[in-house]
Amino acid sequence: MNINTGKSINLKHIFFQSLGVAFLGAVLGSLLIGFKLQSRGISLELDWRLSQVLAVAFFVFLGRFCLGLQQIKLGLLSIFVTIAVCAYMITAILLSVQTPESSKAGNHLLLPYSDMKLNWMTSVIYLGLFLYLIYRFFKKRTVLDSRIQNKKWKFRLNKNIQMILIIAFLLLLISAPFLQIIDRRILNILTQILLYIVLGWGLSIVVGLAGLLDLGYVAFYAVGAYAYALLSLHFDFSFWLSLPLAGLLAAALGIILGFPVLRLRGDYLAIVTLGFGEIIRMVLVNWYEFTGGPNGINQIPKPALFGYLFDEPKGNGNTVSEWLGIEYSSETFYIFMYLLVLSMAFGVFWFIRKLRRLPIGRAWEAIREDEIACRALGLNPTNIKLTAFATGAMIAGFAGAFFAAYQGFISPESFTFVESITILAIVVLGGMGNLFGIALAAILLIFMLELRDLEMFRMLALGVLQVFVMIWRPHGLISRRSPTVYRLMSTKGVS
Amino acid sequence: MVDINKQEKANILALKDVHSFYGQVEALRGVSLQVKAGEIVSLIGANGAGKTTLLMTICGKPKAQKGEIIFLNQSIVSKPTHEIIRLGIAHCPEGRHIFPKMTVMENLLMGIAETSKEFFKQDLKRIFDLFPILYDRRTQRGGTLSGGEQQMLAIGRAIISRPKLLLLDEPSLGLAPIIVQKIFATIRQLNKELQMTILLIEQNAYHALQLADRAYVLVNGYITMQGTGQELLTNPEISKAYLGG
């Protein structure tokens, strides 16, 4: 399809292009995996792992070459190559996993990387490549066919299949904590991701829809968390009573901050919100009597399920394990919290989708697009911005309450500027107003931040990822903006 | 004598000695004008004469420092912009200002304060009857429309809420001559068929005067001349200054 770009693409051209990309990959890859810290006696030394870098270069080269082949109508060949690589990698991985420790050394030779994660990554990337090539292969065909039929070709699944897929996905999400492979650590990461997704969605109202750059979003998160912690400790408020209060408090703070601040625009607004975030953190650190200062707040009560506690049974029958008749395990609580956060995520998702289709949601987008036009249409920009700010803050407040309940311990450490930036990065990477994109970005980012094996390089990788996203997808991973009115469009009676 | 009928018609909008400032700079130095029901009133003038400022002042941004603005027997000088607009003034700002990433449909929706469905459908039908091209383009993003279509969208969005007075700020700005003709034809149609009262600001003096029932000439913040459109068209001074001889 790219043949009509004017340049003639031939095998040689593709070969050298792939070499260039492979070189680039090797350079970048050597930063990430080319070195290994070894402790020899008393000194630390850097080992230069040439074989690993060569493997990276090889796989990048092969992948790019396959993509090139697809362009000169050798798509079928590249499909075979990619699936072959993928199959080889997976078999080798499975072999090395299944064989006992003693004979492992031999099988390890089959694998290009010594780190298992990289092996997995390579196979997943090749699987993705394979799927993409297949998609391109068949798409081309269909386009040709459709030319004959003079019909517009569209990739759309059958409604029923779509429904089944969605339901299956939901079931998977709900049943995830009960699966064998999900241990305590992974469950923790999943819950974290969910919290970040919710925060990202909340911020996407402010930044994505209303276009107000907020660098102090984490302040509202902190307010929600401290609201729950303090209310439950000092006033014995239950979680379910504190939750709306936490949201309301955060929203109220959003409005109080918004009034003086929202007449500012762009960079100025960003600076002021940044300052506001720091003020809140400073208050938390220094108001020792109230917030516990840098030590934070300990032993925040766990939320109860219909009045039953997630504690060790003491024989008076008010714990969840006795009520449900299951064996006591500390894990039950984390499963419960995961499901709780998951349901909140669904709630927020539904809420934002609804809001977007209401006049207020449309007004938020309009204010981002053109404030003068909004004024000319009789909208009050200040009110619109305030509602956006307050709604975003409220969602952060909810998330904060969940966070405090989940961790059982909060301190100002959790609400630093870096958190604000992480959430903002999620929103920007995901594609401003797009909920699915933001969820995807949150998964990517948090996984990356949790990759403890890559240690200090994860920040570098994060930076590289952001640079590349900005080059290739400047509007975020998913930048599609779906219109907010559907039904009225198709009304026949209108015309 | 000719204007006996028009005298009886009520003033929709009346400005009395309005002064308006940008910081220290006095942009309007005592402007008085009237717009009566069912009229097209044109306001012509050179760059920097204060035409756009006049419209903005009517809408309350910047506020008139001195003088009075009366809309439907009600002083609107001290009201905030969004309240003035809700009283029934539609402002179609200079440079169109449509929402580029939103669809044509959403753009139109933004013009409606309350979305009661019955009303809404009628209003939409009215706009689509007026501008059939917008119906064809209703799922397209505003930014992908051509200049003329964008101008139609801007006008449609302004009048969808059934305003009592339409303020048009340079609707011919940056459009091809043939499109300009079309836009002016539409403005006449709005006036004749929907009895819309229009205050039109234009650089394109010839078209504006042809269209106008009455017209004012604004120079450096003063109204220097007024009369019917035909009177001003034949005025030698005007033709020298604004019509190129």
Interface residue B192 vs chain A (CB under 8 A): no
Out of A370, A485, A493, the one facing B105 most closely (by C-beta) is: A485
What residues have CB less than 8 Å from B131, skipping those under 6 apart? B152, B153, B155, B156, B186
A463 within some domain: yes
Find the closest chain B residue to A370 by CA distance: B99
B1 within some domain: no
A281 within some domain: yes
Q: Is A483 within 8 Å of B111 when comparing Cβ atoms? A: no
What's the rounded Cα separation, in Å, for the pair B133 and B147? 13
The pLDDT, as a whole number, for residue A153 is 43
What ipTM does this complex have? 0.88
Q: What is the CATH number of the domain that holds B65?
A: 3.40.50.300
Interface residue A487 vs chain B (CB under 8 A): no
Q: What is the CATH number of the domain that holds A283?
A: 1.10.3470
The pLDDT, as a whole number, for residue A495 is 38
Number of domains in chain A: 2
Q: Are residues A115 and A209 in the same domain?
A: no
Q: How buried is A74 (Cβ within 10 angstroms: 0-12 exposed, 13-18 middle, 19+ buried)?
A: middle
The pLDDT, as a whole number, for residue A121 is 80
Q: Are residues A291 and A188 in the same domain?
A: yes
B4 within some domain: no
The pLDDT, as a whole number, for residue A494 is 43
The pLDDT, as a whole number, for residue A106 is 52
pLDDT per residue, tens digit, chain B (245 aa), is: 444 444 457 889 999 999 999 888 889 999 999 999 999 999 998 888 889 999 999 998 888 999 999 999 899 999 999 889 988 899 998 888 999 989 998 898 888 766 556 677 788 888 898 899 999 898 889 999 999 999 999 999 998 888 899 999 999 988 999 999 999 999 999 999 888 999 999 888 888 999 999 999 999 999 999 999 888 888 888 888 887 76
For B91, the 3-state DSSP assignment is strand
A481 within some domain: no
Q: What is the largest CA-CA distance in chain A?
A: 84
Q: Are residues A248 and A316 in the same domain?
A: yes
Q: Are residues A347 and A219 in the same domain?
A: yes
Q: Are residues A121 and A229 in the same domain?
A: no
Q: Are residues A104 and A253 in the same domain?
A: no
A71 within some domain: yes
Cβ-contact A58, A22 below 8 angstroms: yes
Interface residue B21 vs chain A (CB under 8 A): no
The pLDDT, as a whole number, for residue B214 is 93
Low-confidence stretches of chain A (pLDDT beneath 50): 1-7, 143-155, 489-495
Q: Is A483 within 8 Å of B103 when comparing Cβ atoms? A: yes
Q: Of B235, B241, B239, B191, which Cα lies nearest the Cα of B212?
A: B191
A491 within some domain: no
B32 within some domain: yes
Cβ-contact A240, A231 below 8 angstroms: no
Residues of B in contact with A493 (CB under 8 A): 121, 125
Q: Are residues A420 and A292 in the same domain?
A: yes
First to last CA, chain B: 30
Number of domains in chain B: 1
Find the closest chain B residue to A360 by CA distance: B110
Q: Are residues A66 and A192 in the same domain?
A: no
Cβ-contact A366, A373 below 8 angstroms: yes
First to last CA, chain A: 39
Q: Is B103 within 8 Å of A485 when comparing Cβ atoms? A: yes
Alpha-carbon distance A491 to nearest alpha carbon in chain B (angstroms): 9
Domain stop point among A130, A146, A172: A130
The pLDDT, as a whole number, for residue A406 is 92
The pLDDT, as a whole number, for residue A490 is 47
Q: Are residues A395 and A284 in the same domain?
A: yes
**Residue A469: which H helix or E strand, with range?**
helix A457-472
Distances (CA, A) of A311 to A184, A240, A307, A447: 18, 18, 12, 31
Q: Is B103 within 8 Å of A493 when comparing Cβ atoms? A: no
Q: Is B82 within 8 Å of A363 when comparing Cβ atoms? A: no
B3 within some domain: no
The pLDDT, as a whole number, for residue A144 is 47
A302 within some domain: yes
pLDDT tens for residues A85-134?
888 888 887 777 666 555 555 555 667 777 777 778 888 888 888 888 88
Interface residue A188 vs chain B (CB under 8 A): no
Q: Are residues A125 and A233 in the same domain?
A: no
Residue A55's identity, in one-letter code, is: A
Q: Are residues A111 and A207 in the same domain?
A: no
Interface residue B102 vs chain A (CB under 8 A): yes
Range of the domain at A207: 184-472
pTM over the 0.95 mark: no
Interface residue A489 vs chain B (CB under 8 A): yes
Q: Is A483 within 8 Å of B157 when comparing Cβ atoms? A: no
Q: Is B82 within 8 Å of A379 when comparing Cβ atoms? A: yes
pLDDT tens for residues A351-406?
999 998 888 999 999 999 998 899 888 888 899 999 999 999 999 999 999 999 99
DSSP string, A339-385: HHHHHHHHHHHHHHHHHHHSHHHHHHHHHHH-HHHHHHTT--HHHHH
